Structure 1
Amino acid sequence: MSLIVAWGLTKQFGEFTAVDGIDFEVNRGEVFGFLGPNGAGKSSTMRMIGCVSAPTGGALRVMGMDPAREGTRIRSRLGVVPQQDNLDEELSVAENLYVYGRYFDLPRSVLRPRIAELLEFVQLSERADDHVEPLSGGMKRRLTIARALISEPEVLLLDEPTTGLDPQARHVVWERLWTLKRRGVTQVLTTHYMDEAEQLCDRLVVMDRGEIVAEGSPRQLIERYSTREVVELRAHDQTTALADQLRRLPAQSDGDGAHRLYERAEELPDRVLLYTDHGERVVSQLGEVKPESVLVRRSTLEDVFLHLTGRSLVD
């Protein structure tokens, strides 16, 4: 069953189109991602799903309901982790959960054990009585996730859940989200981190300039739009000369005839990327090409995005 369905979903701000007629479905129990750079339309889409911003055009159904008419009912069944933590820093950790739970009219007898369970889940039990203000960024993010779960929502919306966190804190958040996935909680997240999308998402769409340019599982997208491996040749300020050398390499022959060493090349400011299914073979046949360093790695979602849009997500 699809919990969220959009057809031709559009969001405009004056003459600017933030979301341009996109179609997507989110199935029960899956982790669905919107991947793209800042300004791609991810957050605008999430705000429409969360019933805090009305669509300009198209159709949207969330748990079978129309946000334009049944926004209050939808919001009561959603958990939302906003891009910026908006905790009450003058209250304690436990008080933040308690006050939020009362917004949902949860009785005290339900809230007390649930708060204890959620604080244990996000590894904050020992900080229950501490004020929020001195907590680390990772702790605040985990508390925001716990707060979103206080009403036991059917769908959890996470807008850039680990932006600004150090690598250790990011992995702790990922672990908690994986646990929720195993429990069957449907999650919809936005991110511009390639590794985050690969780690968490069952399916995702790649957005750019308000449009969906690709969709599928991380593995499907890599297989469809990239090669198995990538050879990174670093040359710093000699990248153009290196690219010229690579273009002059002779074709190689095998039983099927002559062919190029690689399928395609991308020239970046400090390196050249060669896309191939046989990275080590390419390296062994570079001949007179002498880069400063060579790395053979597997293709990632960043390679997919580079191929689809012509620029890296970090630009």
Structure 2
Amino acid sequence: MAGYIVKRLLTAAVLLYVVATVVFFLLFLVPGDPAVMLLSSGGVAPPPEAVTQLRGQMGLDKPIVTQYLAYLEHIAHGNLGNSFQDQTPVSQVIAERLPRTLELVGAAALLSVVTGIPLGVIAARRAGSWADRMLRSFTSFALSVPVFVVGTLLLLLFSQVLGWLPAGGFSTFSDSPLRHFEALILPTVTIAIGFSAMVLRMTRSTVLGVIDRDWVRTARAKGLAERRVWRRHIVRNSLGPVVTLTGLQIGSLLGGTVLVEYVFNWPGLSGMLVTAVDYRDYPEVQGVVLVVAALFILINLVADLIYPILDPRARSK
């Protein structure tokens, strides 16, 4: 196991280097000069002298290879640079916004797992019944409706019509725990509807693939109670692919909650990334992408380590 972890960590380091390199060079292909965009006001083009001076302050007047080597050196020392917009350290901004996105994604993942797995088992156990048909209809609906539509509908119902929850915004836990959790409910449910549908569908599919296996029939032939057969031999052996799917989905949500954060005015990492791209803020874009990539790799490493615990057969592979 130790060798496997070391191998995965080395692979992660290589992947991070590739991501950092690709992001660095792709940003230079995006139209628009950061200096011009920052100095432009009211559609009036800034003086060339001011643009040249600002480009020098940003270090954009140096050869691209020199910029690239300096960029790698800064990353190696844990320095993500300063924002072009206000010279705030990028690591400071990410440290402020990342916990909010992690909280949102973590709450949605937890809600999705605790609802999707049991419902998937029920759907598989009663395959072909009215309950199975209703759950499959739910998954089809949840996966086909865009997340911004779900969020808007939830806002209209629970905020505008019923008045039970706030329409959006953010309140720190220290200021008001109640307002903090009230603001968290709707964006969490918005993400969890589609997420839980994927978990439900995967759970149902894997359980149906295990339910008729030889070891399940053997367990029943030994006289084991049906509940124990389901808990130890069917459900446990079905959770490996579900864990893998959950890890992949959590990783993708870290940078993919843009629409949800926009609809509910949640000040997370995705909103920061969109603003940084709009202003061609290279350090912020590079910093956010690197952090999201590192978390994505870490989450999938954890999922891969959990898989052998759920399915002992994977330990010998």
User: Which category of TM-score, normalised to the shorter sequence, fits these structures?
Assistant: under 0.3
Q: TM-score, normalised by structure 2?
A: 0.23
TM-score by length of structure 1 reads: 0.23
Larger helix fraction of residues? 2
